[in-house]
Amino acid sequence: MRRTPWSQRFGLNGRGLVVLLPYLWLLLFFVVPFVIVLKISFADIALAIPPYTSLFQWDDQKVLSIKLNFNNYAFLFTNELYFKALLNSLKVALISTLFCILIGYPMSYGIARAKPATRNLLLLLVILPFWTSLLLRVYAWIGLLKANGVINNILMALGLIHEPLAMLYTPFAMYVGIVYSYLPFFILPLYANLEKMDWQLLEAAEDLGCRPWQAFYKITLPLSRNGILAGSMLVFIPAVGEFVIPALLGGPNALMIGRILWDEFFSNRAWPVASAVAILLLLLLVPFMMWYQSIQARESAGAK
Amino acid sequence: MAVPSGTLTNPSQPVKAAPWKDPNAKAYVQIDRVTKSFGDFKAVDDVSLKIYKGEIFCLLGASGCGKTTLLRMLGGFETPSSGKIYIDGEDMTGVPPYERPVNMMFQSYALFPHMNVEQNVAFGLRQDRVAKAEIKDRVATMLDLVKLTDFAKRKPHQLSGGQRQRVALARALVKRPKLLLLDEPLGALDKKLREHTQFELISIQDKLGVTFVVVTHDQEEAMTLASRIGVMNHGEIVQAGTPSEIYEFPSSKFVADFVGSVNIFEGKLIEDEPEFVRIGSEELGGTIYVSHGISAAPEATVWAAVRPEKVFMSTAPPEGTDNVVRGSVQDIAYLGDLSIYLVKLPTGKIVRVTQPNTSRHAEAITWDQQVYLSWDSTSPVVVTR
- Compare CB distances from B112 to A201, A203, A207 and report the shortest one's residue: A201
**Is the Cβ of A228 closer than 8 Å to some Cβ of chain B?**
no
B355-366 pLDDT, tens per residue? 888 877 766 788
The per-residue pLDDT for B1 is 37
Most confident by average pLDDT, B137-151, B258-272, B290-304, B317-331: B137-151
Among A94-108, A152-166, A215-229, B72-86, whose mean pLDDT is lowest? A152-166
Evaluate whether B216 touches B139 at the Cβ level (below 8 Å). Answer: no
Q: Show residues of chain A in contact with B175, CB under 8 Å.
A: 208-209
- Compare CB distances from A207 to B103, B111, B114 and report the shortest one's residue: B103
Q: How far is CA B343 from CA B337, B338, B369, in A?
A: 19, 16, 9
B126-151 pLDDT, tens per residue? 999 999 999 999 999 999 988 899 99
Most confident by average pLDDT, B22-26, B174-178, B354-358: B174-178
Strand arrangement, sheet containing B82-87: B41-51, B29-38, B82-87, B90-91
Q: Show residues of chain A in contact with B98, CB under 8 Å.
A: 206-211
Dmax over CA atoms of chain B, in Å, equals 75
Which has more pLDDT, B85 or A5? B85
> Tell me, what amino acid is at B264?
I
* Cβ–Cβ gap A207/B108 under 8 Å: no
**Is the Cβ of A203 closer than 8 Å to some Cβ of chain B?**
yes
Among A83-97, A139-153, B103-117, B178-192, whose mean pLDDT is lowest? B178-192
The per-residue pLDDT for B362 is 61
The per-residue pLDDT for B319 is 82
Evaluate whether B238 touches B252 at the Cβ level (below 8 Å). Answer: yes
* Cβ–Cβ gap B106/A211 under 8 Å: no
The per-residue pLDDT for A1 is 53
- Whether the link from the prior residue into A287 is cis, omega within 30° of 0, is no
To the nearest whole Å, the CA of B110 is away from the closest chain A CA by 5
Q: Domain B261-383: give its CATH architecture.
A: Beta Barrel (2.40)
* Cβ–Cβ gap B106/A200 under 8 Å: yes
* Cβ–Cβ gap B98/A203 under 8 Å: no
Residue A139 φ/ψ, nearest 5 degrees: -60, -35
Residues 6+ apart with CB under 8 A from A232: A97, A100, A101, A186
**Is the Cβ of A81 closer than 8 Å to some Cβ of chain B?**
no
Rounded Cα distance, B258 and B233, in Å: 10
User: Considering only CB atoms, which residues of chain B are within 8 Å of chain A?
Assistant: 75, 77, 96-98, 102-104, 106, 108, 110-114, 123-124, 127-128, 171-172, 175
- Compare CB distances from A200 to B108, B123, B175 and report the shortest one's residue: B108
- What does the domain layout of chain B look like in residue ranges? 17-253, 261-383
| B17-253: CATH, from 1.10.150.120, 3.40.50.720, 3.40.50.980, 3.40.50.300 | 3.40.50.300
* Cβ–Cβ gap B77/A219 under 8 Å: no
Domains in chain A, please, with CATH? Answer: 15-57 (no CATH), 79-303 (1.10.3720.10)
Q: Show residues of chain B in contact with A204, CB under 8 Å.
A: 104, 106, 110-112
The per-residue pLDDT for B106 is 94
Domains B17-253 and B261-383 fall in the same CATH topology? no
